[in-house]
Amino acid sequence: MGLVGVQENGKGEMALSLGNKSKYKRMDSELSDEFDDEASNHYNELERKKSIRKYVLACAIFASLNNVLLGYDVGVMSGAIIFIQEDLKISEVQEEVLVGILSIISLLGSLAGGRTSDIIGRKWTIAFAAVIFQIGAAIMTFAPSFQILMIGRVLAGVGIGFGVMIAPVYIAEISPTVDRGSLTSFPEIFINLGILLGYVSNYAFSGLSVHINWRVMLAVGILPSVFIGFALFIIPESPRWLVMQNRVEDARSVLLKTNENENDVDERLSEIVAAAGMSNGEKNEEKAVWRELLSPSPPLRRMLITGFGIQCFQQITGIDATVY
């Protein structure tokens, strides 16, 4: 009987041991599944954030393409003007007017661009700027005389003015807060890239005949604006402009595409609604921008002094004379 009891006891311990092992295996399996799920979710989240960063970067690059036009015009005209003078037999005064008129016209284009972007949207203002520049560049390319060349130059200046104004505005409104500073520097970088491309174009086509080379140089400037046409199928409208049009849900959809942290979307949307002068879907009384500039608040005054100061000292260096 004692032996039987021992055997039964041994069998019981063996059953208990096997039961515990089975239980531990189930627990290990459950922990493994949970770990795999967490790892998979973490990986998907990282991929989503990476995709959003690439998308925002692409939007900033495409929006800055119009700034390449300004840089390219500055760079290419420094070489093309030599061949234009020789081909069209223009005077030195006409040369100066032809080169300098762009700065004046682009200034007027920038002033008109703000109101235009409020009416048709930031995205389509970028497109409008590209189309105007294309028309101007095409007219300059086939210009048979100084007068026709000036017409094309004026249109190109308007397009550049619109593009230079809208690019930093669009990028600032589309970018996440943490990346806004670096992304809004893209327009300036692309201006310098355009200047470099203009010099390369001068070198590449200077060997052609005098009647052809400067026309090809100016025609190449159309290419960046062509890429903007493709960009329109990629870049979204500015969420701020959408809010101004009472399209709050569309603005929220754009913010979901351009912000890594989904929890920040509603907070950012609330800030945009407040900044756009809206509360509970109703527009507040609009403030006069010029009145605010003439009597700015202390923070705005500091920003104006910094902005005007940088531009002033940049021009005082005389860099434009060197570049042209």
pLDDT in tens, 156-214: 999 999 988 999 999 999 988 888 888 888 998 999 999 999 999 999 998 899 999 99
Domain residue spans in the chain?
Answer: 51-235, 287-324
Tell which residue, 226, 220, 224, has the closest CA to residue 77.
220
31 vs 148: which has the higher pLDDT: 148
pLDDT surpassing 80 at residue 291: no
Contacts 24+ apart (CB under 8 A), 139-144: 140/215, 140/218, 141/215, 141/216, 141/218, 141/219, 142/215, 143/88
Class of domain 51-235 as given by CATH: mainly alpha
Q: How far is CA 92 from the centre of its chain?
A: 38
Q: Percent of the chain beyond pLDDT 90?
A: 34
Please give the average per-residue pLDDT across 95-122, as a whole number. 89
Please give the average per-residue pLDDT across 218-223, as a whole number. 89
pLDDT surpassing 90 at residue 148: yes
Task: Band the pLDDT of 50: cuts 50, 70, 90.
Answer: confident
Query: What is the number of helices (H) and of strands (E) in the chain?
Result: 15, 2
22 vs 302: which has the higher pLDDT: 302
42 vs 111: which has the higher pLDDT: 111
Please say whether the beta carbons of 203 and 82 come within 8 A.
no
- pTM attached to this predicted model: 0.77
Q: How many CA atoms lie within 13 A of 308 on its CB side?
A: 7
Q: Which helix (H) or strand (E) holds 279?
A: strand 278-279
Of 10-24, 125-139, 236-250, the poorest mean pLDDT is in 10-24
